[in-house]
Amino acid sequence: MSTEPADTGLRRINNRSKAAAVLGTLAAFGVGFLAIGEIQFVSVAAIAVGIGVRFGSIWVGTRVVADVASSDISEEATAGPYHHGAAGIALAVGGVVALVGRFVGGDVTLVAVVATIVAVGGFLLLSRLLPE
């Protein structure tokens, strides 16, 4: 564990998660657009990946920096009452499932429904399995 104050570490995590989210979105969009070519579909899937990377990287980062005696992120007044790690991982996986499903030739509606089911089901499962 680092000796730097938690505030500095959390600020660093916040800033790095923003960069990771942008890079994740750009990567998903670039690969998806080159592979699929449907800008609207790829944009939505890439946004899901980017938001998922942002939430997930903040959750992972706070798990690394957080002190054993510190409170959960969900206890923060502005954080919201949901599991950030589960939401992030589920959104990112759902976005990737959408891109892969469309790449292999799945119907847009079917792929969107399956990706949504994967994301919601993943969130529900991971919110029970992952530590706060």
38 domain residue, yes or no: yes
Specify the higher pLDDT residue, 65 or 104. 104
pLDDT value at 115 more than 90: yes
83 domain residue, yes or no: yes
3-state secondary structure the chain: CCCCCHHHHHHHHHHHHHHHHHHHHHHHHHHHHHHCCCHHHHHHHHHHHHHHHHHHHHHHHHHHHCCCCCCCHHHCCCCCCCCHHHHHHHHHHHHHHHHHHHHCCCCHHHHHHHHHHHHHHHHHHHHHHCCC
Number of domains in the chain: 1
**What pTM does this model have?**
0.82
Residue 78 has what pLDDT? 58
22 domain residue, yes or no: yes
Residues 121-132 have pLDDT tens digits of 999 999 989 887
pLDDT value at 77 more than 80: no
What is the domain range of residue 123?
Answer: 6-129
1 domain residue, yes or no: no
